[in-house]
Amino acid sequence: MGGGSVAVVGGSIAGCAVALAVARGGAERVTVFERAAGALQKRGTGVTLHSSRYGELEAAGYVDAAMPWGELRRRVWTVRDGEAPLGRAIAAQPFPFRAYAWGSLWRELRRRVPESVVYRPDAAVCALEPDADGVTVQLAGGERERFDAVVGADGYRSVVRETMFPGLLPEYSGYLGWRGSSPAPWGRGPRGAGRDGTAAESASVTGVTDVMDAMDVAGAADVAAAGGAVDVMDARTVVFPGGHCVMYRIPGAGHGDPLNWVLYTVPPQLPGPQQDLRTPVSLPPGALAPELTGYLRDLVARNFPPYWAECVLRTPVESTLIQPIYDLEVPHYAAGRLLLAGDAATVARPHIGGGSVKALQDAWSLETAWRAGGDWREVLDAYDADRTAVGATLVGLGRRLGRAQVEETPDWSAMREADLEAWWQEQHRGSDRTSGFGGHAVSR
């Protein structure tokens, strides 16, 4: 289908990718309305993309091989073991992911949005008026403009979704993700090709047994020195009763690669409006109640191996943020001339490791539908059929992983490698083969 005008509400990962998709599909006029006034790249911390999903997206032209990335190869599940600085490794699993600074992923996508697309920052959409063959967009300043179709890429509190399905809100899971990044404990690690084309440096990766041995030996060393045994290509999952914390390095800008961490657990019951997390909200850095940061710090100090506790605790309090964890499923990705993409359509718990992959695939799917369809109806129906089912599957997987890793955690300290592997397989039982950890695989 050629021609047509499209408004994209939201100019983050999904919004930039959708603008690229419809422009490549042949839309005549594309406008992105982004509420934020400044560039988004300075916000956000780390994001990972599964290597094979990345490969598909790169071939489809949605990610750029030149983005600086850090290679991750394994995930080491770690539990506190007395005062042993690095704790005890329960197991190490393959973890073929690429780590990015969120800002570099956004910047590259933004750069790929063609010049013909109008990207309007500081343009909050406050209302939409659908009619038989188009939609009028109203901005907060009162300006109105009509388009043939509108794509909501406006995140989990989407105004587009509210127009399509009034009252359909993300459902609070009952726990939070605390996020932060701390100064590099290991300097600058090996990385993938950067814009200058430098190839990934090779680094020796120790076997599972080597890592476990190194961790035991480190019990006698002091906490700071223990970091020498850490392989920078390992992601770490520190587990504790009632939650876990995922840590990995992200490519830094010259001063070493920071350690990105996200800790999931149920927050304490606190009075006050800020703590009512049942309705979608996330608190930016610096806005956390002292009771929440105090709770986090105490939990980390009590439950983490000393070295990893130190890594998290040296994150400046004012740069720590929280993200309540929600589930969101929509009955359709398209209705009339309104469409949804990214978090506006589906929020699967981050344990699936595939939120950004899904957002990029939504755009890719829309481009495919656009190229194959002869009219709006065909394009929208094909997109809806492709993405609604994928979204529902990922939400289901996220719920199962959240239950096992946060809500009903096993006795981690009693686990050995085989126990962890069996527990992990159990969480994936019944999963659609194409939609597992790391997100949906398009071509499998």
Interface positions with ligand FAD (CB under 6 A): 9-15, 33-36, 40, 43-47, 102, 124-125, 153-155, 159, 342-344, 355-356, 359
Q: What does the alpha-carbon distance between residue 235 and residue 92 come to, in Å, rounded to a whole number?
A: 9
Amino acid, single-letter form, for residue 363: A
Report in angstroms how near the CB of residue 146 gets to ligand FAD at its nearest: 17
Nearer to ligand FAD, 79 or 184 (CB): 184
Query: Angle 355-372/51-59 helices, nearest 10 degrees?
Result: 30
SS (H, E, C) 160-183: HHHHHCCCCCCEEEEEEEEEEEEC
Q: Classify each residue of 115-153 as buried b or exposed e, where b means 16 or more C-beta atoms within 10 Å of its C-beta.
A: eebebeeebebeebebeeebbebebeeeeeeebbbbbbb
Report in angstroms how near the CB of residue 263 gets to ligand FAD at its nearest: 14
Report in angstroms how near the CB of residue 7 gets to ligand FAD at its nearest: 10
Q: Classify each residue of 38-74 as buried b or exposed e, where b means 16 or more C-beta atoms within 10 Å of its C-beta.
A: eebeeebbbbbbbbebbebbeebebbbeebbbbbbbb
Report in angstroms how near the CB of residue 125 gets to ligand FAD at its nearest: 4
Report in angstroms how near the CB of residue 219 gets to ligand FAD at its nearest: 33
Q: What does the alpha-carbon distance between residue 291 and residue 303 come to, in Å, rounded to a whole number?
A: 18
Nearer to ligand FAD, 310 or 343 (CB): 343
> Which residue has its beta carbon closest to ligand FAD?
342
Q: What does the alpha-carbon distance between residue 431 and residue 443 come to, in Å, rounded to a whole number?
A: 17
Nearer to ligand FAD, 46 or 68 (CB): 46
Nearer to ligand FAD, 153 or 330 (CB): 153
Report in angstroms how near the CB of residue 110 gets to ligand FAD at its nearest: 11
Nearer to ligand FAD, 46 or 243 (CB): 46
Nearer to ligand FAD, 165 or 208 (CB): 165
